[in-house]
Each structure stands twice: as structure tokens, then as C-alpha cells.
Amino acid sequence: MTAQTLLEKIKLQTRPEDELALIKRAYEFAAKAHQGQTRKSGEPYITHPLATASELVDMRLDSPTIAAALLHDVCEDTCHSIEDIRKEFGDEIAFLVQGVTKLDKIRYRGTERSAESLRKMFLAIGEDVRVVLLKLVDRFHNMKTLGSLPPEKQKRIALETLEIYAPLAYRLGMAELSGRLEDLAFPYVYPTEYEWLMRETKETYAIWERYTASIKPTLAEELIKEKIPFLEINARAKHYYSLYKKLLRYGMDVGKITDIVALRIIVPTIEDCYATLGVIHKLWKPLPGRIKDYIALPKPNGYRSLHTTVIGPENRQIEIQMRTPEMHEEAEYGIAAHWAYSEMKRRDTKAYAQNRSSLADLKHFSWIEQIREWQKEFKNPEEFLEALKIDFFKNRIFVLTPKGDAFDLPEDSTPIDFAYHVHTDIGNTAVGAKVNGKMVALDHVLKNGDVVEILKQKNKKPSRDWLKIVKSAQARKHISTFLKHSEEDKKFEKRGGETVEFNLMIRDRVGLLRDVTHLLARHKINIKKVDTDTKNQKWASLMIHAQKFKNKTEVEKMMVRLKGIKGVEDVSYKLL
């Protein structure tokens, strides 16, 4: 990829001259800044920003994002600062560059610090999703040249890609990019399994590609005969890592996998999708239960398409997908496609500034708001990381209320998970459920599109056994909180008074300890122990062991009073 090739590609998209000039200026600035630098592969460094920008052009992202892609390593690897970028290119591009620079500092190793770093990435999504799109494409190109790095670094970066970046791309609706990231990481994380798969499936892929090529003419001929317009019919080969994950569920038997290569038909309209389905079923017998209508009920990441599996010629099962060009664009580029469509409708920079984070408000990306809520709810970074692995990085299903409201849940969720996603009180008082009008147990596994009604009982309480049943972090958190509070209530009931440790996060000042102890003394609370922790330079922690609390209400009232003291920023407690 050269600068000239990039500019030619951009010109084909008929962007205004001022945008072309901006991108050209960004390239010249980056080329000069990176002059003389090379990558570990030996290539000139500028090839990396050019390749990143080229991918974003393919996604039809806006010109400030493409300019930021060209500049994204300037602050990190050259003598230029973010202020130089701001002065030369303005606030918007500086914001994007700075956002990517911050994400570059994330190092995923499963530790508390890593979990805390991941919060930054999800905050970035909420603030401006373009930062994360740029980072994903940056990672994609870096993965292509991973072979030039030392083995231990290869493994760490590949694992980070497999566990964080690829699932994130998928949840943003970018299935193709997600698959490509997984395939690039696969040989570094699971080298033995990768070699086995390549050896075992090489001929299988070739056979399926020949088979799909042989039936395309028959299908095209039938569509023409029925006067159903189509734009293209092509074959889609399954990504290697995706195939490996599926083989794990099928005892590693390649012969049981029927969608190694699928046919994909692009048609002009939604009506044509369903008409094409009718033609296919007239040609070849459909397999019962294998028609998937993701147009009527899209996947939680926004994916729309119509799928069917039929018994084709030679008695072979084959999957065929039907979608419109818009659906295809969304399936390839996800949230980036939505951004591109909205930008095509409004080519003006004022709208940019006003709508920069508007993508976060799209209904099928409402999980972005859920991530924000998690950041408040899961204050322990390791709990936050665990919640991501359970809820965010797993396959999702849509489940409906009787009124038609849709809830996005992890795969294999139960009615209890659903109840807690609707409302905490509904979860706490659940006694049973109806799924599609039939009574089911609370451990029933929900399927995509199920209509669920929760049956409640006023004095019902969550059971500890529910923790073994639920699949979502949200439900587990609410159940654990309820059980913890119930246990505390029982402790207060058993004895005449309880010792409590208050943990105060404070901004230290003269007289603060005196004010805290005076408050406790005024309410006849006996102080057993006082301790401090000043490791954090910005905050100090004050731990107080206090006796004679008769119930939880007294403790909570004291927490409110303590928060009212000047310099006390937060108060938590635990029973001793």
C-alpha cells in the first residue's frame, strides 16, 4: 500500500476535495515524522499507518478517522506531541489519536491491572466508537506482521487478540474482521491444534468449494426462470478458528460439519430474500428446524440475514444465506457500516461534532449502555473482567416479554437470568416461568426468540442454588447481593450488637479524623480500632472498627452521616 494507491481508492468514493486535502496533509505529516523508522519486519514504518487507513477507507469511515489512522502512532513513536496534532489538525483528530494512544497502553494478562485497563476500552466505545474501530483495524494489521516479534510477545499479543479484540469486533457486528483476527491469532495460541486442523481440512475445503461451484449455475438458472433478481451468488468459507470451535462441540469429527462452505445470495430487497427462499425449497428439500430468520429477529450484534440448510445434489447438506446489499455491508463492517450510512446522509462537520457518539444510541448496540452500568456496578476490576467473559464475550440470544420487549442475554440463559434483566424485584420474587405459553422450571434453557413470562410470589426470596443455574453476571451479582444482605440481617438478629468495619475513602485534611470520631461518639458508638492507608497519593483510606450496631438500618444511616463530613468521598462497610 502506497500513499498514491490510498488516495486513488479514496477518490473512487467521491469525497469532497477538502477531505482529500486533509488526508493528504495527514499522510505528509506522518511520513515526515516516521522518516527513517522501520518495523520489526524491516518495512518502512509508514506502511503500517497506510494499511490501517486503507482498511478504514474500505469501511467508508469519515475522513477525520482516516487522517487519525495515518497519524495514530506519531505521538507514541516520534518527537511530536498530541498538542502538535491538535495545532495542525484540530480537536477532533487530536481526540481520536489520543484515544488510540491510550488504548495502546492496554496489556491484557488477566490480572487486576489488565481488567482496569479494559475499562478504558469500553469507556472509549461509549465516548466515540471510532476510536475503537481504529484500534481494531490497527490490531488487524499488526497481527499480519506478528511473525517478526519474539515468541513470548507473539503469544501474549495473539491471546489478547483472541480473547479481547476478536470478541469485541464481533459484538460491534464486524463478523468478518472478528473471524480474520481469530484466524491470525489461532496458530500462535494453539499451534498444535492449528497444524492438525490445516492437515485434516485442506482437502475438505477444496471438496466443498468445488461442490458449491457446481450448484451455483442451477440456482442462478432457477432464480432467472422465476424472475427473481439477484446481484451475486458466492461461496463463503468458514473461518478456521470458527471451524475449530465448532469441531470441539462435534467430537473433532470433520465429517459432521455441514457449513464449511456456504452459499450466499445477495438480492435487492427483503421481499426478494423470502422469494429466493421459496425457490431454494422448491429445488431442494429443506432440513426441518434449520431455517433461521435473522431478518425478522436479528442477532444481538445487529446481524441480519435469512439462512436455510437443504439437502442438495449428491445428498449433501448445504447452508444457503440470503441478504440485501445493506445487510451484507452490515455483516461485513457492523457498526462501521451504520456510521458510513449516516455520514452519506449528512456530509457536514457540524453534524459530526453533534453526532460523534450517536452510534452508541443504536438500539441493537444497547449493550454499550450496559457496559457503562457494569463499570459502576462491578467496582472490583476482576469482577468486571469476569462479567465481560460471562456476558459480553459469549454468544447472545434475544428473549421477548409477552408485550414484545426484547432482552439481550448470554446463550443458555435461564428464566432467572431473564427476570433479573427485566427488574431486580422480579428476579428476587420469581417462582416459575411460562415460555411460549408453557410452564417451565426456573432452570429451563432459553432459546433465541422465546417469549417469557415470569411468575412471582410476594414473599419469595432467591435461593443460593440459583447461583449454580444462572449464566449472566448481572443475575449472579443481584442474587449474591441479596444473599449477603440476608446473612447480615440474620447476624444482627442473633446478637445484641455487631462490630462493623467502615472503610472511608478520604481527601486528607487537618481535623478530619477528629470530626469522624466525634460523630461516632455523639451516637454512642464504641471505636475499637482506627487504621489508615496512604499508598494512593490522591486518596487516603481510613478503616474504623466500631461496635454496638443493632441492625443494618443503623449502619446505613451512619454511612450517610459519615459521607456528610467534608473530605469523605465514599464509605463502604463489612461485618467482622
Distances (CA, A) of 269 to 275, 306, 312, 364: 10, 12, 25, 21
Distances (CA, A) of 260 to 166, 195, 244, 333: 20, 17, 11, 22
Q: For the chain, give percent helix, strand, coil, nearest 5.
A: 55, 15, 25
Long-range own/partner contacts, residues 412-415 (CB < 8 A, 24 or more apart): 412/445, 412/446, 412/471, 413/445, 413/446, 413/470, 413/471, 413/472, 414/442, 414/443, 414/444, 414/445, 414/446, 414/469, 414/470, 414/471, 415/440, 415/442, 415/444, 415/446, 415/452, 415/454
CA 453 centroid distance within chain: 28
Which residues make Cβ contacts (< 8 Å) with residue 470, sequence separation at least 6?
413, 414, 416, 417, 420, 476, 479
Listed in order, strand segments (DSSP E) in 390-468 are 396-400, 406-410, 430-435, 438-440, 452-456
Element (H, E) at 286: strand 285-286
The residues carrying an active-site annotation are 76-77
Q: If you search the block for the grid coordinates 462537520, which residue do you land on?
A: 349
Cell digits of residue 387: 462479567
Cell digits of residue 380: 472490583
What is 509-529 written as a DSSP string? -TTHHHHHHHHHHHTTPEEEE
Please work out, in degrees rounded to the nearest 5, the angle formed at the alpha carbon of residue 547 by the alpha carbons of 546 and 551. 110
- What CA–CA distance (Å, rounded) separates 72 from 48? 10
Give yes or no for a contact between 543 and 530, defined as CB atoms under 8 angstroms apart.
yes
In the chain, what's the furthest Cα-to-Cα distance?
Answer: 91
CA 565 centroid distance within chain: 40
- What CA–CA distance (Å, rounded) separates 333 from 59? 6
Look at residue 532 and give its three-state secondary structure: strand
From the number of C-beta atoms within 10 Å of its C-beta (0-12, 13-18, 19+), residue 458 rates as: exposed
Look at residue 212 and give its three-state secondary structure: helix
- What CA–CA distance (Å, rounded) separates 27 from 25? 5
| Residue of 43, 72, 67, 47 whose CA lies nearest to 57 | 67
What is 310-341 written as a DSSP string? EE-GGG-EEEEEEE-HHHHHHHHHTHHHHHHH
- What CA–CA distance (Å, rounded) separates 527 from 548? 10
